[in-house]
Structure 1
């Protein structure tokens, strides 16, 4: 079922609000200060992407970030409809217990703060959590269990996540360098991003910014800490089939593009399998070069970025990719220092991958 995307909300290292996100992606500027609240001596990387202007610490920070994004997404919506709206939030650490609440209560706590009275569901699919949550919310709307849903992901920087990824040798000394010959791992960030989705019919509350036409989710990998090309390929094919389109109808691909050796290679191999000889003619990008990795919010902020690309008719650069690894010479990786305007830009594919083989692909189109 096709669902309309009628609202967006974001807070990221690029700033608070949707306009700030587009500006960050277009210019490559983001807030990435040194980590100060826990000891990072000896870590490969000692800075992290932060949402400027948010000073809350501890367990409340993820909730505060989610609340900021949700409030932006429902701004202007009729109060009665807000009280019926469902909330689905992805996060990498559902076991964090908010004071006075149970583990896994992030969505419920955020719904109470923002007045959303429909179902509240927390999704945990590692770094694919935000994107997987979008699939869950789409199914709620399609099944008639929610007329409107706000969906996305949120995570704050914690010592567990930061130092845990450092121990796995996943952090890179220069943060995310997608598809670069100098890539050595990821940079960790915090933030939240959500989309407001609803049935695409005569009762749709607002003019759609875009439509969500396809979703594919898989759990398949041969390595806990690295995605496998087969699992990514399957997720993409499922999403295209769900959308009812052929690969040659995709106008650009927003990759997971974390800047890890295995991750970028597996994703490129999956794209080669899906698109074949047509791949060099399809623009490809990654937003992680500027935002770094928003953990559970990554897939959601990248879906928002795709919507903005469709609205603006332009694809933002893959910051940090130079010099490009010769292994990706067949990719039309969007570079430069400004968005690439693409006449007739209509269909976007976005891919998210998580530890343990969690893969999600979404197809977004102009209405």
Structure 2
């Protein structure tokens, strides 16, 4: 069964609709901004990829908002927009059989670490309410999407750190290809910009050492790490038969998915594991490495990850790797953990559809260990028939998606 993309929704630091998101990407517009308005005196680092201008009251009542953490709001808005984009006003029988598979890294962490429990380390009783558990549980996003859209098919939450969104999309792809479902809304969501989470990442030593808007420099010799980000992306996947029956527009086709574990280290990536995930995806798609025209990189801008990912690409593609444009969406968004892979796959879909590759911004100095074509600073027109999107998470969880241009 062939699987196609019929709708997409986005909530991001560079736009909360597809047109704004895409235009910002190809213009090289960074969404990394100062944190001072949110945490004026608590942090030593002052930049993150933050979502602004999101009109939540257009989507939810005040009662609903009280019951939803920020990550859940992002996911549900992205899903509603994707459903609308897919002309989702369909009969009840269609909704009855439509599923949801959504990924997140840490779920409703902002409920714990922001106003609900303002002083977790003190001995004082902190204010809590009956919505605490429904707000923090990881599957709240998938559940709310189903409730809001009355979708009564399978409902699954994926929690594989930074590859969660890609694994959710890949699992949805497999469910439809295996004829277990005809339509699934899938993607990833995250809202991790909280004081303790920022401090925790900083202790790991992988947040950027630069307190500037241009702090994230994937593959650059002078890269020092990433900044945290927030957002969500939702994608409507359907069988080709279903899309044709309902006369849906089609953005593209997913043809392969590879997922595995490095089984190496909780936080350090492994070249062999990443290379195997890429090869698994190509094998699943039934294409050779030379068919790939573009790679959307995991590209976190850490010293280790960018080198390991470059080595993994070269292991799979050999000398042909030097002919493939590679760009890093995180250079403009920051790292939104479980949402990043879904947000990056939306960028990949739009690149293939429009034959245009967004740049890796802030890339200025060649690193001899990262010597591929990273599309620096300026978007590039290129005919793209096949592309892959790499996502590699803590715990050694790797996920790679292969998509193909849709031609009527």
TM-score (norm 1): 0.93
* The 10-residue stretch of structure 1 (203-212 or 97-106) with the greater mean CA deviation from structure 2: 97-106
**Partner SS, residue 136 of structure 1:** helix
Q: CA deviation at 1:205?
A: 4.5
1:271-286 equivalences in 2 (<5 Å): 271-286=313-328
Deviation of the 1:325 alpha carbon: 1.6
Equivalent in the alignment of 1:154:
189
Q: Which residue of 2 is the match for residue 351 of structure 1?
A: 390
Partner of 1:320: 362
Q: CA deviation at 1:138?
A: 1.3
Deviations 1:111-134 (A, max 9, x none): 212333322211100000000111
Pick one of 238, 243, 252 that aligns with 2:294: 252
Distance 1:17 1:148, change over 3 A: same
SS in 2 for 1:24: helix
> Does the Cα contact within 8 Å between 1:48 and 1:188 map onto a contact in 2?
yes
- Any gaps of 5 or more consecutive residues in structure 1? none
Change (3 A) 1:86 1:159: farther
* 2:222 match: 182
Aligned: 1:132 with 2:143: no
Among 189, 197, 202, the alignment partner of 1:166 is 202
Counterpart secondary structure, 1:356: helix
State yes or no: 1:262 paired with 2:304: yes
- Give the 3 Å change call, closer, same or farther, for CA 333–100 of structure 1 in structure 2: closer
Deviation at 1:55, TM superposition (A): 7.6
How many angstroms does 1:95 deviate by? Answer: 6.7
Residue matched to 1:118: 153
Question: Following the alignment from structure 1 to structure 2, what is the Cα–Cα distance between the partners of residues 141 and 161?
Answer: 36
CA distance in 1, matches of 2:367, 2:316: 21
Q: Name the residue aligned to 1:86.
A: 99
- Unpaired runs of 5+ residues, structure 2, are 57-64, 112-130
Correspondences of 1:301-316 after superposition (within 5 Å): 301-316=343-358
Q: 1:68 aligns with which of 77, 82, 106?
A: 77
CA drift at 1:38: 4.5
1:236 to 278, 296, 300: 278
Change (3 A) 1:118 1:160: farther
Q: Deviations over 1:203-232 (max 9, x none)?
A: 364132110000001111533222111110
**What corresponds to 1:19 in structure 2?**
19
1:55 and 1:355 map into 2 onto residues whose CA distance is 33
| Alignment CA distance shift 1:188-1:117 (3 Å) | same
Q: Distance in 2 between matches of 1:138 and 1:161?
A: 32
CA separation in 2, counterparts of 1:100 and 1:325? 46
Cα gap change, 1:154 to 1:320, in 2 (>3 Å): same
Distance 1:241 1:33 in 2: 40
Counterpart for residue 333 of structure 1: 374
| Distance in 2, Cα, partners of 1:94 & 1:253 | 28
In terms of fraction of residues, the more helix-rich structure is 2
Pairing of 1:96-115 with structure 2 (within 5 A): 96=109, 99=132, 101=134, 103-106=137-140, 107-115=142-150
**Aligned equivalent of 2:118:** none
| Aligned with 1:195 (options 204, 225, 235) | 235
Q: Distance in 2 between matches of 1:84 and 1:160?
A: 40
Q: TM-score w.r.t. structure 2 length? A: 0.84
1:342 CA displacement = 0.7
Structure 1 partner of 2:127: none
- Cα deviation for residue 105 of structure 1 reads 2.5
Q: CA deviation at 1:312?
A: 0.8
Larger deviation, residues 10-19 vs 137-146: 137-146
Distance in 1 separating the partners of 2:177 and 2:350: 24
Structure with the greater alpha carbon radius of gyration: 2
Secondary structure of 1:33's counterpart equals strand
CA 1:213–1:29 in 2, change beyond 3 Å: closer, same or farther?
same
The answer for the alignment partner of 1:46 in structure 2 is 46
